[in-house]
Amino acid sequence: MTIAKAIAKAWTDDAYKAKLLDNPHVALSEVGVDIPADTSIKMIENTADTTHIVLPVAPVNAVQLSPGELEKIAGGAVVNPQITD
């Protein structure tokens, strides 16, 4: 099962949703999503008046990329720039 399916389950199963918010490692494991034990997971819920935005880890080569390339990566694109010295 994917994380998307786990989220969909949380929308219709209040007990699962509570577990997902309280102990995401256990809840995700129950639906077949294994997260390494040494990886911290924090589940938060958006509400009608609060939206959380996650700031992802910057690409390793962020300083070598153009603003346009960074924007594409932030949107989910894969960018393979030609870097020359």
Map out the domains of the chain as residue ranges.
3-52, 55-85
- pTM, to two decimals: 0.70
pLDDT of 17-73, one tens digit each? 999 999 999 999 999 998 999 999 999 999 999 999 988 888 888 899 889 888 888
Cα torsion through 12, 30, 55, 78, rounded to 10: -100
